[in-house]
A and B are shown apart, each in its own frame.
Chain A
Amino acid sequence: MNIALKLLPLALFVAIAAFLAKGLSLDPTQLPSPLIDKPAPEFTVARLGREPGDPSDGDFISQDMLGQVWVLNVWASWCGPCIAEHPYLVSLAQQRPIPVVGLNYKDEPGDAQQWLARYGDPFAHVLDDRDGDVGLDWGVYGVPETFVIDQSGRVRYKHVGPVDEVGLTQKLIPIIDQLQKETS
């Protein structure tokens, strides 16, 4: 066997090791959204009624939100991590006077209403995206995901996975405060 062939395993290993080294500085849970700093997809979707047995509560039109900073949280009653995340959303809605909009993603309206009754309802609007059409436009990768949208309707931040203490106090709230300052 010639030496080039003998060096092949070493070469492959060096290549893999280089990628692994690069991988150490990457965070696999950080999913950058192609939407960052781009105009958020516009949509009109039915609002979910807040009482059990009340399936619909008019339409939500995303352009209506222009002029204010708002948060879009993608959640579902079938999503386990959403339960862990929920107290922080409740806390966010209490701490900052901005609309937190819940996109109820691929869910049954009845399940969603019960879930909110059980864990608390921080949402200004709950949007019924039972077919996942809106989620598709927003490039939802998994549930939960949280977007921050600025006054001009651009997506400024995306949080993947459940928001926790650190995510709330060190990411979401500072970003929201920063965006609110931008206009005033």
Chain B
Amino acid sequence: MIPELGHFALILALCTAIILAVVPMLGSFTGHSGLMAIARPAASAQAFFVSLAYACLTWAFISHDFSVLYVANTSNTSLPLVYRISGVWGGHEGSILFWCFISALWTGAVAVFSRSLPQVLLARVLAVLGFVSVGFLLFVLLTSNPFERLFPVPLDGASLNPLLQDPGMAIHPPMLYLGYVGFSVAFAFAIAALIGGQLDTATLRWMRPWTNIAWMFLTLGISLGSWWAYNELGWGGWWFWDPVENASFMPWLVGTALIHSLAASEKRGVFKAWTVLLAVLAFSLSLLGTFLVRSGVLTSVHSFAADPTRGLYILLFLGVVVGGSLVLYAFRSHRLNSTATYELVSRETALLLNNVLLVVACAAVLLGTLYPLFVDALGYGKMSVGEQYFNAVFVPLMLPILFIVGLGAMLNWKRDKMKGRSGPLLILAVLSVVTAGVLATQLLSFSFAAVASLALAIWITASTVFGIVHRIRNKRKRLSAVMHTPAAFWGMSIAHVGLAVFTVGVALTSIYTEEQTVRMEVNTTHTVGGYTFTFAALDEVRGKNFNAIEGRFNVERDGADVGTISAQKRFYDVRRDTMTEAGIDAGFTRDLFIALGEPLEGGQAWSVRIQTKPFIRWIWLGTIFMGLGGLLAALDRRYRTVSSRSKAAKTSTGKAKSALDSMVAGSMASTATATDTPRSSGA
């Protein structure tokens, strides 16, 4: 009964989504306020129905309803409750429903929090979001129905892939989806702007917190995925340039460009068409990622069932959404003229340069990801593109980006003079290189790459501090200047420091990791990277739904005890899968990593992989800083004042009044350069 209710709710959700996609859009063209007014209740209704469907599926998991095929395939009576809840998105059908769920929530949130937007704009934004929902709901209902029944009902299910039975992996997909789907908001604004032929400062200001939050989720989601791979895959690596990883990294690169371009568009009225293009691309790449993961077009370590029907559907949908958007962009974006000017030496130039570099980096990743497909489709046989390509192309692009991040933070908007700046710039640059050189040679062994990366990380940090000091120095009341520095500025600073921390982590881990795979028996020792590992014991351990063989290792350094590391090899009961649970002694400046390989000589000895990985924590620490920065920037008071102020004036019904609203919203917050005047809605 409950699954049928869920199925029915999903059908109702599709109906409301169709209404949401069609009616307000019609209203926005005919100027019919009543039609446009349907947008907000329809968005809420859709959110309700999808949530209901999602709750029904969750209930089927919690209550072990194996008469539902999807539950029987992905759950099991021995599965702990937390993984039954996360199991809802652990398979194909559920994860697409989960996408719909997140999308419905984002759409509902836009409906709730964007009351002060001009009615025409809001109607179009919600209609575009509704259109995207229609696409995904149809996908679920036509090709991937999670409520399909199974008869005869099995006594027990097949269980969740053990790879997914990990706290990190349980929340990794939701984070990614919140990011992917979050970009649909910026996308919807971009499409509405292209249709309306204008993009004013107030609208841009609306887009910024939404995009920042989406970017934050995507950042944390990718980071969690990497952290999970490091803990679970037992290879000791943190990034593999796997097609599925790339699928999430490409929207991130473009999304990063987007949040910076949005800042320039909002503050200075420049790059508007470019911002719109980035918004379209960020979401398009999210859809492309879904296609690559779900269609089985590319092979990957992430084993998802390939289904050509599903692939064809997503490809068609991709064609309509992306193709349509780009047609709209080609013929309408000329109306989004940027009025402001800027000179060569200015923050705008730095932002534009980095934007272009980020997009080029994304294109390089896209090329590497799709290259095997191109070659195959052209009949030149099979091939795979490995880490060498990505590192060779990506690293050289990252170096100028890191340099420009520091440079841009020290330049003023609009115009700057190299004359007054070159002194401090030069001093900071020299200081960074010297400090990096001293650090690298004194604490580690010398390596040119390490010095260069450290210098860039110090350069970014120093320029961020310089930016903060510069902001406060000229004020008379310094404390109050600190207090009045907007959250967006702190967010930017923290995110940039996060980038520096991340750079240190990546560079030092890749340069100084020591790794050995050795044969070890109990009570033998082995030394790697100055640490002595003693294989202390080998035990059998019983978990809730797996048996494990656990090796315990005592670690010493220079005779001093460092700690004990336990590494497991798990054998899951139901699916008969084997999993490596690496043992990691985490530290601020280094990780000690042990993974059990295979038993040798009938279990007398084991092949053991031991690695010392300097500063690897800094990789994830850096991404946490970045995410935190994104969150802080989204919480800036400037965005909130607009909404609270306009709430006071929200009782508008007619289009003239709603246009007035947007004028109020537009002008009151325009401290610097509101160059566009919001047009009245019918025009």
Decide whether A and B assemble into one complex. Answer: yes
Interface size classification for chain A: 20 to 34
B153 to chain A, nearest CB (A): 24
Q: Chain A contacts of B578 at CB under 8 A?
A: 80
Q: Report which of B298, B326, B333 forms a contact with A28, defined as CB distance below 8 A.
A: B298
CB interface residues, A 6-37, toward B, < 8 Å: 6-7, 9-10, 13-14, 16-17, 19-26, 28-29, 31-32, 34
Contact, CB under 8 Å: B377 / A10: no
> How many residues from B make CB contacts under 8 Å with A?
40
Contact, CB under 8 Å: A28 / B296: yes
Q: Chain A contacts of B315 at CB under 8 A?
A: 17, 20-21, 24
Contact, CB under 8 Å: B284 / A13: yes
B225 to chain A, nearest CB (A): 22
Complex alpha-carbon distance, A25 and B315, angstroms: 12
**Is B175's CB within 8 Å of the partner chain A?**
no
> Given the known A-B contacts A20-B297, A24-B297, A78-B598, are A13 and B323 also in contact in the complex, defined by CB atoms under 8 Å?
yes
**Is A73's CB within 8 Å of the partner chain B?**
no
A14 to chain B, nearest CB (A): 7
Q: Report which of A25, A26, A114 forms a contact with B601, defined as CB distance below 8 A.
A: A114
Contact, CB under 8 Å: A20 / B330: no
Contact, CB under 8 Å: A23 / B330: no
Contact, CB under 8 Å: A19 / B308: no
* Interface hub of A1, A28, A114 (most chain B Cβ within 10 A): A28
- Which residue of the partner chain B has the closest CB to A22? B377
Complex alpha-carbon distance, A23 and B243, angstroms: 14
> Given the known A-B contacts A6-B330, A9-B281, A17-B323, are A24 and B308 also in contact in the complex, defined by CB atoms under 8 Å?
yes
Q: Chain B contacts of A59 at CB under 8 A?
A: none
**Is A77's CB within 8 Å of the partner chain B?**
yes
Q: Chain B contacts of A6 at CB under 8 A?
A: 329-331, 333-334
> Given the known A-B contacts A29-B299, A80-B578, are A7 and B273 also in contact in the complex, defined by CB atoms under 8 Å?
no
**Is A166's CB within 8 Å of the partner chain B?**
no
**Is B664's CB within 8 Å of the partner chain A?**
no
Complex alpha-carbon distance, A141 and B376, angstroms: 15
Complex alpha-carbon distance, A32 and B299, angstroms: 15
CB interface residues, B 361-405, toward A, < 8 Å: 366, 370, 372-374, 376-377, 381-382
Complex alpha-carbon distance, A28 and B306, angstroms: 10
Q: Chain B contacts of A22 at CB under 8 A?
A: 377
Contact, CB under 8 Å: A20 / B376: no
Contact, CB under 8 Å: B330 / A10: yes
Q: How many A-B residue pairs have CB under 8 A?
A: 86
A21 to chain B, nearest CB (A): 6
Contact, CB under 8 Å: A19 / B601: no
- Which residue of the partner chain A has the closest CB to B319? A17
Q: Chain B contacts of A141 at CB under 8 A?
A: 382
Contact, CB under 8 Å: B600 / A111: yes
B321 to chain A, nearest CB (A): 11
Contact, CB under 8 Å: A13 / B322: yes
Q: Chain A contacts of B370 at CB under 8 A?
A: 16, 19
- Which residue of the partner chain A has the closest CB to B602? A114
Q: Chain A contacts of B372 at CB under 8 A?
A: 28
**Is A110's CB within 8 Å of the partner chain B?**
yes
- Which residue of the partner chain A has the closest CB to B600? A111
A121 to chain B, nearest CB (A): 16
Complex alpha-carbon distance, A32 and B382, angstroms: 8
Contact, CB under 8 Å: A10 / B329: yes
**Is B439's CB within 8 Å of the partner chain A?**
no
Q: Chain B contacts of A10 at CB under 8 A?
A: 323, 326-327, 329-330
CB interface residues, A 75-131, toward B, < 8 Å: 77-78, 80, 110-111, 114
Contact, CB under 8 Å: A3 / B381: no
B138 to chain A, nearest CB (A): 18
Contact, CB under 8 Å: B318 / A17: yes
Q: Chain B contacts of A13 at CB under 8 A?
A: 284, 322-323, 326
- Which residue of the partner chain B has the closest CB to A83? B578
Hey, what's the 0/1 contact readout for B304-343 against A, CB within 8 Å counting as 1? 0000100110010011001100110111011000000000
- Which residue of the partner chain B has the closest CB to A3? B330
Contact, CB under 8 Å: B323 / A14: yes
Q: Chain B contacts of A78 at CB under 8 A?
A: 598
Complex alpha-carbon distance, A110 and B581, angstroms: 26
Complex alpha-carbon distance, A10 and B602, angstroms: 60
Contact, CB under 8 Å: B376 / A23: yes
Q: Chain B contacts of A80 at CB under 8 A?
A: 578
**Is B259's CB within 8 Å of the partner chain A?**
no
Q: Chain A contacts of B277 at CB under 8 A?
A: 9
A37 to chain B, nearest CB (A): 16
Contact, CB under 8 Å: A19 / B377: yes
Q: Report which of B291, B308, B329, B382 forms a contact with A9, defined as CB distance below 8 A.
A: B329
Q: Chain A contacts of B330 at CB under 8 A?
A: 3, 6-7, 9-10
Complex alpha-carbon distance, A25 and B376, angstroms: 11
Q: Chain A contacts of B598 at CB under 8 A?
A: 77-78, 111
CB interface residues, A 28-49, toward B, < 8 Å: 28-29, 31-32, 34
Q: Chain A contacts of B280 at CB under 8 A?
A: 9
- Which residue of the partner chain B has the closest CB to A29? B299
Contact, CB under 8 Å: B326 / A20: no
Q: Chain A contacts of B600 at CB under 8 A?
A: 111, 114
Contact, CB under 8 Å: B382 / A19: no
Contact, CB under 8 Å: B381 / A32: yes
Complex alpha-carbon distance, A148 and B330, angstroms: 54
Q: Chain A contacts of B329 at CB under 8 A?
A: 6, 9-10
**Is B119's CB within 8 Å of the partner chain A?**
no
What 3 A-B pairs are tightest by C-beta distance, nearest first?
A: A10-B326, A22-B377, A23-B297
Give me the interface of A with B, judged by CB distance under 8 Å: 1, 3, 6-7, 9-10, 13-14, 16-17, 19-26, 28-29, 31-32, 34, 77-78, 80, 110-111, 114, 141
Using A78-B598, A111-B600 as known contacts, list a sample of 20 further A-B pairs with CB atoms less than 8 Å apart, ordered by residue number in A. Answer: A3-B330, A9-B329, A19-B373, A20-B291, A20-B318, A20-B373, A21-B315, A23-B295, A23-B377, A24-B295, A24-B297, A25-B308, A26-B373, A26-B376, A28-B372, A28-B373, A31-B382, A32-B381, A34-B381, A80-B578
21 contacts between A and B (CB under 8 A): A1-B333, A3-B331, A6-B334, A9-B281, A9-B330, A13-B284, A13-B323, A17-B318, A17-B319, A19-B370, A19-B373, A19-B374, A24-B297, A24-B315, A28-B298, A28-B299, A28-B372, A28-B376, A77-B598, A78-B598, A141-B382
Give me the interface of B with A, judged by CB distance under 8 Å: 273, 277, 280-281, 284, 291, 295-299, 308, 311-312, 315, 318-319, 322-323, 326-327, 329-331, 333-334, 366, 370, 372-374, 376-377, 381-382, 578, 598, 600-602
